[in-house]
């Protein structure tokens, strides 16, 4: 084997390590999605049960639903910020407005990336059970990489440059490396 240190490649820079990081990032967000679906189904059920019993106007219901969706975006943005900091060492802005935008962008890009799955999945439901299970497993593996890629790059958009500079982290922009001071 050739010595990678002579060429400047480190273990972190290897293609295999980057793919593994994308996979871990995407898989963690898929896991979060499953957990949030269960939790938010419970919350939705509670709201559906309580709204008819409480006298609320249409604007109040719209406000509750809007707040409900905003909180969901903030949760997803915060979780992605934490995972991005842990896996990629990206310092993400932690203001609630940044987290709201972060979660909203993730929602849009992940929804767009999921279009092929949404088209093919109903067709695959007609297949045998084991074929459909294999299809789902392959899709989780593929979409873990795709979602990890999306999540990392959305986190890059919301990077806190002041915090990154203060902590002395390395910032890579267009193949040029800068060191914080």
Is residue 3 one of the residues assigned to a domain? no
Portion of the chain with pLDDT greater than 70, in percent: 82
Residue 160 neighbours by CB distance under 10 Å: 18
Is residue 1 one of the residues assigned to a domain? no
CA pair distance 169, 8, nearest whole angstrom: 19
Residue 107 has pLDDT above 70, yes or no: yes
Is residue 77 one of the residues assigned to a domain? yes
**Structural domain that includes position 122:** 14-179
Mean pLDDT taken over the chain: 84
CA pair distance 46, 40, nearest whole angstrom: 10
Is residue 163 one of the residues assigned to a domain? yes
Is residue 165 one of the residues assigned to a domain? yes
Is residue 112 one of the residues assigned to a domain? yes
Is residue 130 one of the residues assigned to a domain? yes
Cβ-contact 110, 150 below 8 angstroms: yes
Is residue 171 one of the residues assigned to a domain? yes
| Token reading at 169 | 């982290």
Q: What are the Cα distances from residue 119, in Å, to 116, 123, 142?
A: 5, 7, 16
Identify the band that residue 54 occupies on the pLDDT scale cut at 50, 70 and 90. confident
Q: What is the DSSP string of 45-109?
A: HHHHHHGGGS---HHHHHHHHHHHHHHHHHHHHHHHHHHHHHHH---B--SHHHHHHHHHHHHHH
For 119-138, the pLDDT digits (tens) are 999 998 888 999 999 999 99
Q: Could you tell me which of 121, 89, 92 has the C-alpha nearest to residue 106? A: 92
Average pLDDT over residues 85-108: 96
Output the CA torsion sign for 112, 113, 115, 116: positive
Range scoring the smallest mean pLDDT among 6-10, 38-42, 130-134: 6-10
Q: Could you tell me which of 120, 144, 142 has the C-alpha nearest to residue 131? A: 120
Number of domains in the chain: 1
């Amino acid at each position: 084997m050739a010595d990678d240190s002579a060429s400047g490649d480190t273990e972190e820079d290897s293609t295999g390590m980057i793919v593994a990081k994308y996979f871990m990032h995407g898989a963690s967000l898929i896991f979060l999605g499953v957990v949030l679906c269960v939790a938010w189904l419970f919350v939705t059920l509670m709201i559906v049960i309580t709204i008819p019993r409480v006298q609320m106007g249409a604007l109040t219901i719209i406000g509750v639903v809007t707040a409900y969706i905003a909180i969901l975006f903030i949760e997803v943005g915060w979780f992605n910020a934490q995972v991005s900091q842990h896996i990629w060492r990206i310092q993400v802005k932690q203001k609630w407005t940044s987290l709201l935008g972060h979660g909203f962008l993730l929602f849009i890009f992940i929804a767009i990336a999921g279009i092929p799955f949404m088209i093919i999945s109903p067709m695959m439901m007609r297949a045998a059970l084991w074929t459909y299970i294999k299809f789902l497993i392959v899709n989780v593996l593929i979409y873990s990489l795709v979602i990890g890629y999306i999540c990392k790059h959305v986190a890059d958009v919301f990077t806190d440059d002041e915090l990154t500079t203060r902590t002395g982290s390395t910032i890579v922009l267009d193949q040029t490396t800068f060191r914080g001071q």
